[in-house]
Amino acid sequence: MTAPALTSADEWAARLATIGLVAPGEPTTIDRSTAEAVCATAAHQGLACLLGAAVERGTVRADEATTEVISAAWAQRLDWCVRLDSMLLAVVSRLTAADIPVRVLKGVAVATLDEPDPSWRSYGDIDVLVPADRLLAAIDALAGLGLQPAAAPVGRHWLARHGKGITLTHPSGVQVDLHRLLAPGPFGSRVRMACAFERGRTFEVGGTTLTAMADVHRFLHACYHAVLGRVRGPRHRRDVLLLARTVRPAEVAAELADGWSAAVVHAALTWAGDAATLPAEWAQWLAVDPDATDSPHRADRELLAAYSGSFGSLARAELRALRGPLAKARYAAALVWPSRGNLAARGQRRRDHLVHLLRTALPHRSAA
């Protein structure tokens, strides 16, 4: 028997996001043009790898020519991952030599620790976390590898104190996202990030032992990325579902004291899962209405709205969350008067930037 054909790349994306996580059912057949469409989706969605794995497992059937198309796309994605892993080893080596602790995020960490096989997961860049007060030292240490900021920050001091992190680029095209926080805005800045360095899970790449965050922190990061990131798709959904299988609600509850938000976890699981794809414990956790008893949860749900708006709405939310006039003034100053390099990277002149700020700060006047 064969299951009904899936006809669009979107239907395939939904199906592939849960491969290996739910009972496979009857095999589905994919034709060449659909396979080409699935494999042409953005690399960060990871569908070419999941389709390859599904064909390898026999849960998706394809003729010989289609299998070649899928295999070629899969190999291309993994070629890039091998290149990224090579660079990651150099990045970790440099940071370690500079006495900067590091946690590998997403990418090869999830591929190795959480996927059934590392070949199931592709990724487009390198993500590493360093202690919040060591970001500038990490940038300086990585300059020796030829890694330079993709865009100048609004200010180095602002970046070190308030930024989520910075993207570094290498002449080879490899991009390294150097994080000091796991999310922008208030949800990111309220988490006590030292918790990520107090525990960890080790794994091996190229004979080197690397450290990822602990299981519960990888789960929380997957939830935060799915809900607070600018882009989300099948890979983000899969990450949430993968980690929900190894982490229990009680473990997450124990982390809330470090500033993690149950509302973000709730939003992520509601978006990513259902009774068929979530472990029973999480399905039961979702069934309880947290708003009824938990006022911080209600406030966080309202805060989530700021993340669907512009950077300005997020910055205003962060400004409200900061305590003390001096802290607020320091935060706002660099955004009002960013570095020349930052303006140049955005293709803006200072006067245009200030006019834009005035217009967005005075919406009623500009609307009139």
Partner 1 sequence: MSDTRYRRCPQAVWRATRFFLVAAVPPATPTHVGGSAAAVWHALAHEGTLPELVGRVAAEVGAPADDIAADVRALVHSLLPLGLVEVVA
Residues that bind partner 1 (CB under 8 A): 52-53, 56, 67, 71, 74-75, 78-79, 81-83, 85-86, 89-90, 118-119, 205-208
Q: What is the 3-state secondary structure (H, E, C) of 39-55?
A: HCCCHHHCHHHHHHHHH
Tally: H helices and E strands in the chain: 20, 9
Nearer to partner 1, 10 or 68 (CB): 68
Nearer to partner 1, 83 or 192 (CB): 83
CB of 68 to partner 1, least distance (A): 9
CB of 118 to partner 1, least distance (A): 6
Q: Rounded to an integer, what distance in angstroms lies between the CA atom of residue 72 and that of residue 336?
A: 49
Nearer to partner 1, 43 or 195 (CB): 43
Nearer to partner 1, 105 or 108 (CB): 108
Nearer to partner 1, 118 or 155 (CB): 118
Backbone angles phi, psi at 332, to 5 degrees: -75, -30
Beta bridge partners of 303: none
CB of 78 to partner 1, least distance (A): 4
Strands 126-129 and 175-179: parallel
Q: Rounded to an integer, what distance in angstroms lies between the CA atom of residue 211 and that of residue 196?
A: 10
What tokens were used for 126? 């390198």
CB of 87 to partner 1, least distance (A): 8
What tokens were used for 255? 């982390």
What tokens were used for 180? 């000091």
Nearer to partner 1, 89 or 319 (CB): 89
CB of 75 to partner 1, least distance (A): 5
CB of 210 to partner 1, least distance (A): 12
Backbone angles phi, psi at 215, to 5 degrees: -50, -50
Sheet of 103-105: strands edge to edge?
148-149, 165-169, 175-179, 126-129, 103-105, 208-212, 201-205
